[in-house]
Amino acid sequence: IARYFAAAKDHLAANDRQCLRVAVLATASMRRLPNASQLAIHNALRDGLNQSAQNDFNASRLDVRTLTNHEESSYKLAALNYGFNRIDAHVVKAPPLPGYKFSQKLFGFKELGDHSTQVAAPPGVTYNDEEQNLAQRLRNRTKTWTRSYPDFGMERIRRLTYARIVNVGWEASRAQRAVSNPCAFYGHSEEAAEWRGTGEASYCESFITKVVMDEQEKCMEHYDHIADAKQADAQREENCMGFPAMPYAEKFFLVSGYADVTDFARWWLRRSGFSQDARPLAYPTANELREAADVLCAAAWSELSAAAVDAEPAASTPAHRVPHRCFDLCYIVVLLTHGLRYKEDVAFDIPSRADVREIDWVQGAFLLMPFA
């Protein structure tokens, strides 16, 4: 990190560096650590930067901390809507369309990563004040609905699902490393794994659904010890996926992992002759994603792995993720329906623009953080 401070010297005058507020902000992965561990890391980083010869910024104006769930999600929400020209750079109102008097409604997003999934729904449009104090409303937890679920990232749920698949397999099959894994491509296997891929999307979805429902139930039970029922429900509403259902937004974009996985499925559908559309799955429903999973998961691993080195799939799916794309697509179906409780015919928007597919929360921080 000190290298970035050193590089900033080429862009900022000495006087500016002394009066500038600098923030080093940790995100979702850091929130998984105990508070004491986070504090120790923050203090060590702050001390190290202040002692570094590469850093001549004002130590009293250095902010090192972990973002809250809401801060990170609201920053991403601001960046997404700024990218679509739904808010201006001052975040005081959403500029109206040409010929229209009132502001456009803001977009929400659903983001899926290896280690967490996040959802954010924007504050509603207030026609009386034309979105006055929009920045304050985005920062306000009671006005802007945001949730982060660190237990529902793709990697954790995949490990739990594969473990369940192996556990229900025959002992003889485990010994032969031949337990049927419907979430892996047909013919795929991994060193030391007790399964081999059979590529059956419907069975894969069934296994994932059981895992997700178990995790939801564990979360609900975690707050049973709270005597006050209202307080217990408040904790469940804050932390347990699907309790309650998601709020309304004019449009939700599926970004990050959602977009990358559907890109991969889109490529395979076109390559297999199932769709001639320029962008199949650009506005998918859960049912359409389920149909795509049937096609994708049935692919022979030998054929798919050889083709996946092409530039198009490799652009959004690195080589180490290719074996998991059958599971990933099935998980998205389960996440949208059983997890987030959307109807199977609700369509979502997957943006084609790279600058909004991977939301730059740092840009949102510049828009929303009070830097004075």
pLDDT at 356 over 80: no
Judge whether 327 lies within some domain.
Answer: yes
Q: Are residues 25 and 164 in the same domain?
A: no
Q: Are residues 44 and 174 in the same domain?
A: no
**Residue owning tokens 């899926």:** 112
Rg, the chain, Cα only: 23
Percent of the chain whose pLDDT exceeds 70: 90
Judge whether 140 lies within some domain.
Answer: no
Domain count, the chain: 2
Q: Which residues are catalytic?
A: 72
pLDDT at 88 over 90: no
Number of H helices, E strands in the chain: 17, 8
Judge whether 233 lies within some domain.
Answer: yes
Judge whether 133 lies within some domain.
Answer: no
| pLDDT averaged over every residue in the chain | 86
- Which has the higher per-residue pLDDT, 361 or 280? 361
Q: Do 317 and 260 touch, CB atoms closer than 8 A?
A: yes
So what's the pLDDT on residue 128?
47
Q: Are residues 44 and 181 in the same domain?
A: no
Judge whether 341 lies within some domain.
Answer: yes
Query: Residue 127's pLDDT band (boundaries 50, 70, 90)?
Result: very low
Last-in-domain residue among 66, 95, 115: 66
Q: Do 162 and 183 touch, CB atoms closer than 8 A?
A: yes
What whole-number distance in Å separates Cα of residue 354 and Cα of residue 88? 20
Longest dimension (CA), the chain: 72
Q: Do 170 and 179 touch, CB atoms closer than 8 A?
A: yes
What whole-number distance in Å separates Cα of residue 76 and Cα of residue 86? 13
CATH of the domain at 189: 3.30.420
Mean pLDDT of 296-308: 95
Query: Residue 97's pLDDT band (boundaries 50, 70, 90)?
Result: low
pLDDT at 295 over 60: yes
Query: Residue 136's pLDDT band (boundaries 50, 70, 90)?
Result: confident
Helix, coil or strand: residue 251 = coil
Evaluated on CA atoms 315, 152, 164, 330, the torsion sign reads negative
What whole-number distance in Å separates Cα of residue 132 and Cα of residue 125? 10
**Residue owning tokens 């002759």:** 273
- Which has the higher per-residue pLDDT, 354 or 153? 153
Q: Do 69 and 147 touch, CB atoms closer than 8 A?
A: yes
Q: Are residues 212 and 336 in the same domain?
A: yes
Q: Are residues 175 and 318 in the same domain?
A: yes
Judge whether 218 lies within some domain.
Answer: yes
Strands (E) located in 150-300: 179-181, 195-197, 252-256
Give the tens place of pLDDT for each residue, 232-282.
888 888 788 876 656 666 678 889 899 999 999 999 998 888 876 766 788
Total residues belonging to the chain: 372
Output DSSP code: residue 280.
Answer: T
Q: Are residues 46 and 164 in the same domain?
A: no
Q: Are residues 202 and 311 in the same domain?
A: yes
Helix, coil or strand: residue 64 = strand
Judge whether 115 lies within some domain.
Answer: no
What whole-number distance in Å separates Cα of residue 281 and Cα of residue 190? 30
pLDDT at 129 over 50: no
What whole-number distance in Å separates Cα of residue 86 and Cα of residue 107? 8
What whole-number distance in Å separates Cα of residue 331 and Cα of residue 157? 8
What whole-number distance in Å separates Cα of residue 62 and Cα of residue 64? 7
Amino acid identity of residue 237, one-letter, is: E
Q: Are residues 174 and 38 in the same domain?
A: no
Last-in-domain residue among 47, 66, 85: 66
3-state secondary structure the chain: CHHHHHHHCCCCCHHHHHHCCEEEEECHHHHCCCHHHHHHHHHHHHHHHHHCCCCCCCHHHEEEEECCHHHHHHHHHHHHHHHCCCCCCCCCCCCECCCCCCECCCCEEEEECCCCEEEEECCCCCCCCCCCCHHHHHHCCCCCEEEEEHHHCHHHHHHHHHHHHHHCCCHHHHHCCCEEECCCCECCCCCCCCEEECCCHHHHHHHHHHHHHHHHHHHHHHCCCCCCHHHHHHHHHHHCCCCCCCCCCCCEEEEEHHHHHHHHHHHHHHHCCCCCCCCCCCCCCHHHHHHHHHHHHCCEHHHHHHHCCCHHHHHHCCHHHHHHHHHHHHHHHHHHHHHCCCCCCCCCECCCCHHHHCCCHHHHHHHHCCCC
Last-in-domain residue among 13, 48, 66: 66
- Highest mean pLDDT among 142-146, 176-180, 195-199, 241-245 belongs to 195-199
Judge whether 309 lies within some domain.
Answer: yes
So what's the pLDDT on residue 246?
62
So what's the pLDDT on residue 335?
94
So what's the pLDDT on residue 372?
46
User: Could you tell me the residue range of the domain that residue 60 belongs to?
Assistant: 2-66
